[in-house]
Chain A
Amino acid sequence: MKPTRRRFASAALAGLAPKSGPRIEGGFVFESAGQGLDQGHRLRDHARFASPARREKTEVVIVGGGVAGLSAAWRLDKRGFRDFVVLEAEQQAGGNARSGENEISPYPWAAHYLPVPDVRQTLTRELCAELGLLDGHTWNEIHLCHSPQERLYLHGRWQEGIEPAIGLTKTDAEQFQRFEQLIQELRQTGAFRIPMEEGLQKSTQEIQGLDRMTLGDWLQRQGLYSPYLRWYLDYATRDDYGTHYDQISAWAGLHYFASREPEDKGPLTWPEGNGWIFKRLLRKLGRFVRTGSMAFHIRRENGRWAVFTEQCAYEARCVVFAAPTWLASWIVDPAPPRWPIASAPWITANLTLHRWPDNKGLEYAWDNVIYNSTSLGYVIATHQSLKTYQPQTVWTWYMALADGNAADQRRLLLGGDYAYWQERILADLERAHPDIRQCVRRIDIFRIGHAMPRPAPGAIFHPERLRRARHDGTLVYANCDLSSLSLFEEAQYRGVTAAEHVLKLVSRAGA
């Protein structure tokens, strides 16, 4: 081909363009054959699974080795009951508390903190005391989030805290205050609690009505239209429910704010996020966990439950289904009714930085958020390090695919190849850090098809949710999606209460 003048000119100019930075390594994680997406799709497509060669008898099978499953195991073990197994489909247990580690720091793959539990949250405090986080009434400050905690990139500079403060009009500020008052009133009703089940009895008709509208509708009714307030609430709902405030049940959206006292310290956090707690649970309970064991079929056989994995068929008196509840429709025979709550696709990425981007104004915080970005910003894994000199770092970048319906967003998630997602991540960070491309050496990306429940209006008081949240019979559900809240405390509560229910059954049978 003869070079045209334009081609020549553009080639010459390309050489003058600013350096795009060194090559960045990385890829998708948890996506090799037999893992994650691949496994789930085999279930969905009704693929043939190998029949297990072994059979094993055990009293209890816990399906799912995330926080809910391990919390069930934690309670069984603590009560002296050891005749159980935990089946984990992935090669690495942990669910949303999974974490990784490189030569610079451990880092989280999903959940990265635990709000400091108040005195009413006895279960979570029990675990914290066991792990040395809580001594009497004193929290170990090494594990509380170090200063500075949060900052927001707004109007071209960083401000302290995530609640927008720069450029607000008087009306904006008043609307924030008014919102805070309304939350205070809801908090006082006692209907918004963690665990959420404990507040539901106190729900008046009016509070139940909140589940019939979106948070957007509720804001409209309250006359709250400040764009800053709406951005702030949207950030919160994307963060906790993986979708926008005008898609989410107002009950759920308000629960986020009304369930906790405004805290002045905390949260509890670690370089590897909730992986820190999980590793310690696993140290104690690892011997019960069978990884790479996906339960693909569960049915009644001779008055007991038969739980099939490709390695082994377990015969059990009870099953604690701690995997995502919607999966049950593909596994349990006969299939339970369709689970009414959609789940949100997410993408998280761990960026390895060989140097820090230039930073003006406020110092780097633990959680760094960019206003009006589609992402949720990034958390710095090395923030909790006790070193004063930290030339390299790892950042965990988060984004919920929050637009439109979840299935479409999942197609988008899987449709983009590695180069596409890498570019999205860098372009997002570049808004606040123009030299980010020169600093990043590696980006590992985790695509999570079903990261957390997305409670649309009606989800909270849906009869099917209420039915499955009740422990009844010998197969009980325990995932945190039963609460429609993707929270450590909810997962722990569901796991522990399921374990207590099962303990009653087995002791009755044993007696």
Chain B
Amino acid sequence: MAVVLFLSVFLIAACGLIYELIAGTLASYLLGDSVLQFSTVIGSYLFAMGVGSWLSRFIGRALVARFITIELLVGLLGGFSSTALFLAFAYTQAFRFLLYALVIAIGTLVGLEIPLLMRILRERFQFKELVANVLTFDYLGALGASLLFPLLLVPKLGLVRGAILFGLINAAVALWSTWLFREHLPAPLLQRGACAVVVAVLGVGLGFGDVITDTADSALYADEVIFARTTPYQRLVVTKWKQDYRLYLNSHLQFSSRDEYRYHEPLVHPGLASVAGARHALVLGGGDGLAVREMLKYPGLASITLVDLDPEMTRQFSTHPLLTALNGGSLRNPKVHVVNADAFPWLEQNDGLYDFIVVDFPDPNNYSLGKLYTTAFYRLLRRHLAEHGVAVVQSTSPMFARQSFWCINETMKQAGFRTYPYHVYVPSFGEWGYVLGANVDWQPPARLPSGLRFLTPQNVAELFRFPPDLAPVPVEPNRLSDQTLVRYYDREWREIVR
């Protein structure tokens, strides 16, 4: 009997410490500065426990019933503490307020537990034995919790489900107390019913812990997340707001379905429509299949080869019903060959010749990506371009990253291309730029395929005119041995992005 009683002490002590650790950890994760967060959380928690102990003097009667109520409250508050904090962080401005409110509430309730329990047990044990055993098991519980927390709880269960699990332990102690102290309970069924409700609520929470984390995650994106996948290469997230689907790669917006045609039509048609009798096309990057969708408007094309690093990206855009609706199932067209490979080595190892090449890589925001914008890369690209072929390179924003844009133009020139830079306004991106490269003199096409939403033969020519604020600036070309572009890009975007 005694062992069971002291085991309860052990368990409630462990639970108490876990909630404190969860609050401290969450505050450190979400607010940073772990020293400050842990100090203030521990301080206010201990202080609240003192308040609880002091308040225990005002509880005179029905000690067991009160104890059970307190256990259930601790279980509920503590169990859902991390859930509440995550959601508060994602959706409200009141994270700090809720954090300290929860810490003080739980601390006060936990402070009440041990004094009440000691008074309940007073008649069963000698005082010196009682004090010694209760405090021993209290501290042992603290040790157990502090070891369990970092080694098992956080890595295996996570903070949301870990907290709920300990909430369940509090509720279990309450339930179990209805038997242990049944002689003090006039109506144990009432308490058992309450316990059952709390256990059920916490149990449901445990089952939906993942949903809660995802919900909080999705709140960091403004819109509903309908698809999220982490591949070895990147994190893919697709969001939906009304009829607007957006693709983010590593949190960088790739397209918005509302205006992506304003990006993809200019990426493909000025170049491809100008190459008479184009048979073979190549897309580097562009695993979303949207550029390919535009290219399939040319019945004369016999093959389109798409080289994208990430197999998960091309698989999802070939099979996911929402995503294939966006690209019209372009990647499953029999003319299209999808290759999952790193573009630079792939170009080195293959010797195909193409009439039209689209280069649609992520912006050059690090030195690894920067290699795909160097003179060495464009020289290699030229070796794959047919005599009268055309290559088009997505070239970041001439408005926000003017030097970067003109640097790409200059780099292609250095590699031997005749370059024809142009730009277009894409509402979700802003002013966006492309550089078209050819081996010979090039003229914009006189005809375009039918069914385009943005481009007409008349407005194509206008894209090639640059207003004074986008006009060329002096730049150094981007070489493997001196990646000027990554430095331009880093400096220019840092001035804009907060």
**Residues of B close to A388: CB separation below 8 A:** 309, 342-344, 368-369, 371-372
Q: CA separation between A149 and B367, bound complex, in Å? A: 11
0/1 string, A3-22, CB within 8 A of B gives 1: 00000000000001000000
Instruction: Report A361-392 CB contacts with B as 1/0, cut-off 8 Å.
Output: 00100000000000000000000011111110
Bound-complex Cα distance A485 to B272 (A): 58
A355 to chain B, nearest CB (A): 11
Q: How far is the CB of B113 from chain A (nearest CB, A)?
A: 28
Task: Pick from B348, B367, B374 the residue with the most CB of A within 10 Å.
Answer: B367
Structural contact, B374 and A141, CB atoms closer than 8 A: yes
Quick one: CB contact mask for A137-162 with B, threshold 8 Å, 1 for yes? 00001101111110000000000000
Q: Is there contact, CB below 8 Å, between B481 and A144?
A: yes
Given contacts A141-B375, A147-B481, A266-B481, contact A389 B368 (CB under 8 A): yes
B residues 307-352 touching A (CB-CB < 8 Å): 309, 342-345, 348
Q: Which of A144, A266, A386 has the most CB of B within 10 A?
A: A386
- Smallest CB separation, A472 vs chain B (Å): 43
**Chain A residues in 8 Å Cβ range of B483:** 146-148
Nearest CB of chain B from residue A27's CB, rounded to whole Å: 31
CB of A16, distance to nearest CB on chain B (Å): 7
Contact B479 A141 (CB under 8 A): yes
Contact of B368 (CB < 8 Å), options: A142, A145, A265, A390: A390
CB of B142 to closest CB in A, whole Å: 15
Is B366 part of the binding interface, using a Cβ–Cβ cutoff of 8 Å? yes
CB contact list, B355-402 vs A, under 8 A: 366-372, 374-376
Contact of A16 with B147 in the complex, beta carbons under 8 Å: yes
Interface membership of B480, Cβ < 8 A: yes
A268 to chain B, nearest CB (A): 10
Q: Is the CB of B232 within 8 A of A147?
A: no
B233 in contact (CB, < 8 A): yes
CA distance A148 to B484 in the complex (A): 10
Known contacts: A141-B376, A141-B481. The answer to whether A146 contacts B344 by CB under 8 A is no
> Are A147 and B309 neighbours in the complex by a CB distance under 8 Å?
no
Which chain A positions have C-beta within 8 A of B342?
A: 386-389
Q: How far is the CA of A124 from the CA of B219 in the complex (A)?
A: 61
Report the Cα distance A386→B348, complex, angstroms.
9
Does the CB pair B369–A147 fall under 8 Å?
no
- B343: chain A residues at CB < 8 Å are 388
Closest A residue to B147 by beta carbon equals A16
Cross-interface CB contact of A389 among B233, B370, B375, B376, cutoff 8 Å = B233
The reply to whether B481 and A387 contact each other, CB–CB distance below 8 Å, is: no
A-B contact count (CB 8 A): 60
B407 within 8 A of A: no
| CA gap between A481 and B144 in the complex, in Å | 65
Q: Check B486 for interface membership: any CB of A closer than 8 A.
A: yes
Pair A142/B372 contact, Cβ less than 8 Å: no
Q: Which residues of B contact A266 (CB under 8 A)?
A: 481
The answer to whether A146 and B367 have CB atoms under 8 Å apart is yes
Q: Is there contact, CB below 8 Å, between A142 and B147?
A: no
Residues of A within 8 A of B374 (CB): 141
Interface 0/1 of B146-163, CB less than 8 Å to A: 010000000000000000
Chain A residue with Cβ nearest B151: A16
Q: What residues of chain B lie closer than 8 Å to A363, measured between beta carbons?
A: 366-367
CB-based contact A147/B344 at 8 Å: no
Q: Say whether B482 faces chain A, with CB atoms less than 8 Å apart.
A: yes
Contact A147 B375 (CB under 8 A): no
CB distance from A215 to the nearest CB of B (A): 30
Centre residue among A149, A389, A390 by max chain B CB count within 10 A? A389
The interface residues of chain A lying within 8 Å CB-to-CB of B309 are: 388-389
Residues of B within 8 Å of A145, CB to CB, are: 481
CA distance A390 to B375 in the complex (A): 21
Complex contact A386–B345 (CB within 8 A): yes
B-side contacts of A265, CB under 8 Å: 479, 481-482
Query: Nearest Cβ distance between residue B374 and chain A, in whole angstroms?
Result: 7
Contact status A386-B371, CB under 8 Å: yes
Contact A387 B375 (CB under 8 A): no
A 329-379 contacts with B by CB, 8 A: 363
User: Please, how many angstroms separate the alpha-carbon atoms of A391 and B483 in the complex?
Assistant: 22
Closest to A265 in B: B481
CA distance A266 to B348 in the complex (A): 22
Question: Who on chain A is nearest to B372 by CB?
Answer: A388
Q: Which of A141, A142, A147 has the most CB of B within 10 A?
A: A147
Instruction: Please measure, in the bound complex, the distance between the C-alpha atom of A144 and the C-alpha atom of B480, giving whole angstroms.
Output: 8
* Nearest CB in chain B to that of A16: its residue: B147
**Chain B residues with Cβ under 8 A from A16's Cβ?**
147
Tell me which residues across on chain B come within 8 A of A149, comparing CB atoms. 481
Tell me which residues from 471 to 495 in chain B have a Cβ below 8 Å from any Cβ of chain A: 479-483, 486
Return A19 CB to nearest CB of chain B, in Å: 11
Residues of A within 8 A of B372 (CB): 388
Residues of chain A within 8 A (CB-CB) of B371 are: 146, 386, 388
**Within 8 Å CB of B486, what residues of A?**
147
Q: Complex: how many Å from CA A149 to CA B479?
A: 13
Q: B290 to chain A: closest CB distance in Å? A: 21
Interfacial chain A residues near B482, Cβ < 8 Å: 147, 264-265
- How many Å from the CB of B74 to the closest CB on chain A? 28
Check B344–A387 contact: CB distance below 8 A: yes
A387 to B232, CA, bound (A): 15
By the criterion CB–CB under 8 Å, are B376 and A147 in contact?
no
Cα A264 to Cα B375 in complex, Å, equals 17
Bound-state Cα–Cα, A390 to B374, Å: 18
* B233 neighbours in A (Cβ, 8 Å): 389
Residues of B within 8 A of A391 (CB): 232
Q: Which residues of B contact A387 (CB under 8 A)?
A: 342, 344-345, 368
Residue on A with the closest CB to B232? A391
Residues of A within 8 A of B147 (CB): 16
The answer to whether A147 and B348 touch across the interface, beta carbons within 8 angstroms, is no
Separation of A141 and B377 alpha carbons in the complex (Å): 10
Distance A389 CA – B231 CA, assembled complex (angstroms): 12
What are some 20 contacts across the A-B interface (CB < 8 A)?
A141-B375, A141-B376, A141-B479, A141-B480, A142-B376, A144-B479, A144-B481, A149-B481, A264-B482, A266-B481, A363-B366, A386-B371, A387-B342, A387-B368, A388-B309, A388-B368, A388-B371, A388-B372, A389-B233, A390-B368
Binding site for A on B (CB under 8 A): 147, 232-233, 309, 342-345, 348, 366-372, 374-376, 479-483, 486
- Given A147-B370, A147-B480, A388-B368, 18 more contacts at CB 8 Å? A141-B479, A141-B481, A142-B480, A145-B481, A146-B480, A146-B481, A146-B483, A148-B367, A385-B345, A386-B345, A386-B371, A387-B342, A387-B345, A388-B344, A388-B372, A389-B232, A389-B309, A391-B232
A-B pairs with lowest CB-CB distance, top 7: A144-B481, A147-B483, A386-B344, A387-B342, A146-B480, A388-B368, A141-B480
